[in-house]
Structure 1
């Protein structure tokens, strides 16, 4: 796709987009603002749970499923160990680097849509691997392999979903786009935490 997409509007910064550059830039800004608000809300919920111990007790004792879900969402912000700090930093650096690379590559006409089927198949393999681990625990090495594979897969999803944000999502789909990226980042964090926890144990 060298030389860009001839069907793209004149002056479009990202070949392959169908709208005007101004509309696409506004959409991208809107998506990342929503993403920042999601993480801000997550941090606020975590802070409230940390300061009011009765809240997690309430969820865990009355609605076990909801409590577990809330715990998974806020765990990265509750854990104050050095390991958690390192994983936070690595996740941030990985996300920013992958995002910057995807925007740079997209502006030169590269397309990452081909990653979709490979990432989906890899995710299915990862789920099966995780299920096997539950039934037949394979030890520390298998946890490290699982964490490393998951980190690679969700890094790929960050690139793929960022490429979709640049080229595919319509202006009305900004919430879904932000949620997709949010889930990718959380999963990348959990994968790295799993990897380093297994290595540290």
Structure 2
């Protein structure tokens, strides 16, 4: 399940300090005195200039952070799409993954270990990039096995439909969150509670398969749609500039989980 990470870290630059305007010497004539008094009353504009420069720098740093996050996310999604396509469309690869299910469990549980290592070394380049690649590859293989199983069952069209729907929902929610300019922090408690409910619901469904019906899939799809909104808001407003690895992982997991729940929902609807 998706793990959510959020932390309020802001690196700020000190504003330019205002310099004191030197006082004029005592005036000896009336006209000079009036000029001196007017000079002393001139407002110090350097404070305002400093604030404007600081705001501009912060804005540029935030934009650079956002570009880095979505650049990493694009690479992750591209790698996942390639792996899933090969496993689902290539007959030999599809037969291999279908006859060796143990590899899927190795990838599934191994990804947790790599993820913990990635969190520990998230700021150590290039180790963080290498761990991120390995972790993404494991996640991609796990999802690829799911896609291959649907294709082998003659439901390859559903996989494509789920992919298109996921892309459309993600793009729509991202644009809405960015342009709405709303504060979505109020969603945090509800999403955390919903995630716990989804986890326990999934565990109970292992013993009572009837619980994992369409309602479960619909709830999961709605929950991770909410996570996309919340995590997008965090990236644009809250997360620190060094959290690009955490941010890309969070959004990547949101998208994968949304795709898998939509896939389950479409499959049950067709059946």
- TM tier, shorter chain? 0.7 to 0.9
TM-score for both structures, normalised by structure 1: 0.79
Number of aligned positions between the proteins: 184
What is the CA RMSD across the aligned residues, in angstroms?
3.0
Deviation, structure 1 residue 43: 2.4
> Rg bigger for which structure?
2
TM-score for both structures, normalised by structure 2: 0.60
Cα separation, 1, equivalents of 2:171 and 2:94: 36
Contact 1:148–1:195 (CA under 8 A) maintained in structure 2: yes
Establish whether residue 21 from structure 1 lines up as the match of residue 96 from structure 2: no
Listed as ranges, the matches of 1:133-172 within 5 Å are 133-138=205-210, 142-172=212-242
Moved over 6 A (4+): none
* Gaps in structure 1 of 5+ consecutive residues: 1-8
| Counterpart selection for 1:46 from 84, 102, 106 | 84
Q: Which residue of 1 aligns with 2:263?
A: 193
Distance 1:179 1:19, change over 3 A: farther
Listed as ranges, the matches of 1:1-201 within 5 Å are 10=52, 20-49=58-87, 51=90, 53=93, 56-57=96-97, 60=100, 63=103, 65-67=105-107, 71-75=141-145, 78=148, 79=151, 81-106=156-181, 110-138=182-210, 142-201=212-271
Distance 1:128 1:65, change over 3 A: same
Deviation, structure 1 residue 46: 3.1
Deviation, structure 1 residue 72: 2.6
* Gaps in structure 2 of 5+ consecutive residues: 1-50, 109-138
Cα separation, 1, equivalents of 2:269 and 2:78: 30
